[in-house]
Amino acid sequence: MLQVRAKGATSAQFFLFAEQVVRSVAEHCRVIVNDRADIALTVGAAGVHLGEHDLPIWSVRKFVPAGFIIGATARDPGTAQKAQENGADYIGAGAVFPTGTKSDTRLIGLAGLAEIAKSVDIPVYGIAGVSPANCALMVQAGAYGAAGITAITRAEDPVSAFQALEESLQKAAQSV
Protein backbone atom coordinates (compact mmCIF):
# COMPACT_ATOMS: atom_id res chain seq x y z
CA MET A 1 0.00 0.00 0.00
CA LEU A 2 1.00 3.57 -0.55
CA GLN A 3 -0.26 6.36 1.69
CA VAL A 4 -0.60 9.84 0.20
CA ARG A 5 0.16 12.66 2.64
CA ALA A 6 0.26 16.36 2.02
CA LYS A 7 0.02 18.04 5.42
CA GLY A 8 0.71 21.58 4.24
CA ALA A 9 -1.39 21.48 1.06
CA THR A 10 -4.72 23.15 0.48
CA SER A 11 -7.69 20.87 -0.18
CA ALA A 12 -7.44 21.60 -3.90
CA GLN A 13 -3.71 20.89 -3.99
CA PHE A 14 -4.13 17.69 -2.00
CA PHE A 15 -6.94 16.54 -4.31
CA LEU A 16 -4.82 17.10 -7.45
CA PHE A 17 -1.82 15.36 -5.90
CA ALA A 18 -3.86 12.37 -4.68
CA GLU A 19 -5.62 12.07 -8.02
CA GLN A 20 -2.29 11.99 -9.84
CA VAL A 21 -0.88 9.36 -7.48
CA VAL A 22 -3.94 7.12 -7.83
CA ARG A 23 -3.83 7.39 -11.63
CA SER A 24 -0.10 6.60 -11.62
CA VAL A 25 0.10 3.63 -9.27
CA ALA A 26 -3.37 2.23 -8.55
CA GLU A 27 -2.92 -0.71 -10.92
CA HIS A 28 0.27 -1.70 -9.04
CA CYS A 29 -0.73 -1.07 -5.43
CA ARG A 30 -3.54 0.17 -3.21
CA VAL A 31 -3.49 3.87 -2.36
CA ILE A 32 -4.58 5.19 1.03
CA VAL A 33 -5.18 8.93 1.52
CA ASN A 34 -4.10 10.43 4.83
CA ASP A 35 -6.73 12.27 6.91
CA ARG A 36 -9.23 13.05 4.13
CA ALA A 37 -12.00 10.52 3.45
CA ASP A 38 -13.67 12.95 1.04
CA ILE A 39 -10.56 13.17 -1.13
CA ALA A 40 -9.93 9.41 -0.88
CA LEU A 41 -13.44 8.68 -2.18
CA THR A 42 -13.33 11.34 -4.88
CA VAL A 43 -10.03 10.15 -6.39
CA GLY A 44 -10.89 6.46 -6.17
CA ALA A 45 -8.35 5.54 -3.50
CA ALA A 46 -8.63 2.19 -1.73
CA GLY A 47 -9.02 3.85 1.65
CA VAL A 48 -8.14 6.50 4.20
CA HIS A 49 -5.92 6.70 7.26
CA LEU A 50 -7.49 8.65 10.12
CA GLY A 51 -5.60 10.31 12.95
CA GLU A 52 -6.86 11.45 16.32
CA HIS A 53 -7.98 14.85 14.98
CA ASP A 54 -9.81 13.51 11.91
CA LEU A 55 -13.39 12.32 11.45
CA PRO A 56 -14.32 9.41 13.73
CA ILE A 57 -13.92 5.99 12.14
CA TRP A 58 -17.54 5.01 12.81
CA SER A 59 -18.80 8.12 10.99
CA VAL A 60 -16.65 7.49 7.92
CA ARG A 61 -17.75 3.84 7.89
CA LYS A 62 -21.35 5.11 7.40
CA PHE A 63 -20.67 6.68 4.00
CA VAL A 64 -17.91 4.62 2.39
CA PRO A 65 -18.52 1.57 0.20
CA ALA A 66 -17.93 -2.00 1.35
CA GLY A 67 -14.27 -2.90 1.09
CA PHE A 68 -13.07 0.68 1.65
CA ILE A 69 -10.02 0.47 3.93
CA ILE A 70 -9.91 2.61 7.07
CA GLY A 71 -6.72 2.80 9.09
CA ALA A 72 -6.23 4.52 12.42
CA THR A 73 -3.33 5.77 14.48
CA ALA A 74 -2.82 4.45 18.02
CA ARG A 75 -0.21 5.13 20.67
CA ASP A 76 -1.65 2.79 23.29
CA PRO A 77 -3.69 -0.43 23.51
CA GLY A 78 -6.90 1.32 24.59
CA THR A 79 -6.91 3.60 21.55
CA ALA A 80 -6.15 0.64 19.27
CA GLN A 81 -8.99 -1.40 20.75
CA LYS A 82 -11.44 1.49 20.36
CA ALA A 83 -10.35 1.97 16.74
CA GLN A 84 -10.92 -1.73 16.05
CA GLU A 85 -14.36 -1.61 17.72
CA ASN A 86 -15.27 1.43 15.59
CA GLY A 87 -14.41 -0.35 12.34
CA ALA A 88 -10.71 0.22 11.64
CA ASP A 89 -9.12 -2.30 9.30
CA TYR A 90 -5.57 -1.71 10.54
CA ILE A 91 -3.60 0.29 13.11
CA GLY A 92 -0.58 2.50 12.53
CA ALA A 93 1.21 2.33 15.91
CA GLY A 94 3.93 4.68 16.97
CA ALA A 95 6.13 6.49 17.08
CA VAL A 96 8.26 3.38 17.47
CA PHE A 97 11.57 5.14 16.73
CA PRO A 98 12.54 8.83 16.55
CA THR A 99 11.52 10.55 13.32
CA GLY A 100 12.17 13.85 11.63
CA THR A 101 8.80 14.03 9.87
CA LYS A 102 6.79 15.09 12.95
CA SER A 103 7.77 17.35 15.80
CA ASP A 104 5.03 16.27 18.24
CA THR A 105 5.76 12.56 18.41
CA ARG A 106 5.77 10.57 21.61
CA LEU A 107 7.89 7.44 21.44
CA ILE A 108 6.20 4.17 22.35
CA GLY A 109 9.20 2.05 21.42
CA LEU A 110 9.15 -1.64 20.61
CA ALA A 111 7.51 -2.48 23.95
CA GLY A 112 4.59 -0.14 23.22
CA LEU A 113 4.26 -1.58 19.72
CA ALA A 114 4.15 -5.11 21.18
CA GLU A 115 1.41 -4.11 23.66
CA ILE A 116 -0.71 -2.62 20.88
CA ALA A 117 -0.21 -5.62 18.59
CA LYS A 118 -1.35 -7.98 21.37
CA SER A 119 -4.44 -5.89 22.12
CA VAL A 120 -6.17 -6.13 18.71
CA ASP A 121 -7.06 -8.69 16.06
CA ILE A 122 -6.39 -6.44 13.06
CA PRO A 123 -2.99 -5.82 11.44
CA VAL A 124 -0.70 -3.38 13.23
CA TYR A 125 2.00 -1.46 11.38
CA GLY A 126 4.91 0.13 13.20
CA ILE A 127 5.37 3.78 12.24
CA ALA A 128 8.13 6.37 12.64
CA GLY A 129 11.84 6.01 12.15
CA VAL A 130 11.41 2.99 9.89
CA SER A 131 14.52 1.65 8.15
CA PRO A 132 15.60 -1.65 6.61
CA ALA A 133 17.72 -2.17 9.73
CA ASN A 134 14.78 -2.00 12.18
CA CYS A 135 11.86 -3.51 10.22
CA ALA A 136 12.64 -6.96 11.58
CA LEU A 137 12.52 -5.63 15.15
CA MET A 138 8.99 -4.32 14.56
CA VAL A 139 7.79 -7.62 13.14
CA GLN A 140 9.44 -9.52 16.00
CA ALA A 141 7.54 -7.22 18.40
CA GLY A 142 4.28 -8.38 16.83
CA ALA A 143 3.68 -5.87 14.04
CA TYR A 144 2.27 -7.10 10.74
CA GLY A 145 4.56 -4.65 8.96
CA ALA A 146 5.99 -1.14 8.99
CA ALA A 147 5.17 2.15 7.31
CA GLY A 148 8.07 4.37 6.37
CA ILE A 149 8.33 7.84 4.89
CA THR A 150 11.82 9.24 5.33
CA ALA A 151 13.62 6.04 4.33
CA ILE A 152 12.02 6.39 0.90
CA THR A 153 11.42 10.11 0.34
CA ARG A 154 14.92 11.18 1.38
CA ALA A 155 16.71 8.39 -0.45
CA GLU A 156 18.73 9.11 -3.58
CA ASP A 157 16.99 6.15 -5.20
CA PRO A 158 13.47 5.84 -3.73
CA VAL A 159 12.67 2.67 -5.70
CA SER A 160 15.75 0.89 -4.31
CA ALA A 161 14.96 2.21 -0.82
CA PHE A 162 11.41 0.82 -1.05
CA GLN A 163 12.74 -2.52 -2.26
CA ALA A 164 15.18 -2.67 0.67
CA LEU A 165 12.35 -2.05 3.14
CA GLU A 166 10.16 -4.63 1.44
CA GLU A 167 12.95 -7.22 1.46
CA SER A 168 13.67 -6.59 5.13
CA LEU A 169 9.98 -7.01 6.01
CA GLN A 170 9.67 -10.21 3.98
CA LYS A 171 12.71 -11.74 5.67
CA ALA A 172 11.38 -10.75 9.08
CA ALA A 173 7.95 -12.24 8.37
CA GLN A 174 9.53 -15.54 7.31
CA SER A 175 11.49 -15.77 10.55
CA VAL A 176 8.49 -15.21 12.85
For the segment 101-131, what is each residue's pLDDT rounded down to a tens digit? 666 678 999 999 999 999 999 999 999 888 8
Higher pLDDT, 162 or 69: 69
For 2, phi then psi, to 5°, come to -125, 125
Q: Model-level pTM? A: 0.90
For the chain, the average pLDDT equals 91
What is the torsional sign of CA 31, 36, 38, 43?
A: negative
Res 49 pLDDT > 70 = yes
**Residue 31: φ, ψ to 5°:** -110, 130
Q: Which domains does the chain have, with CATH numbers?
A: 51-175 (3.20.20.70)
C-alpha 162/C-alpha 168 separation (Å) is 10
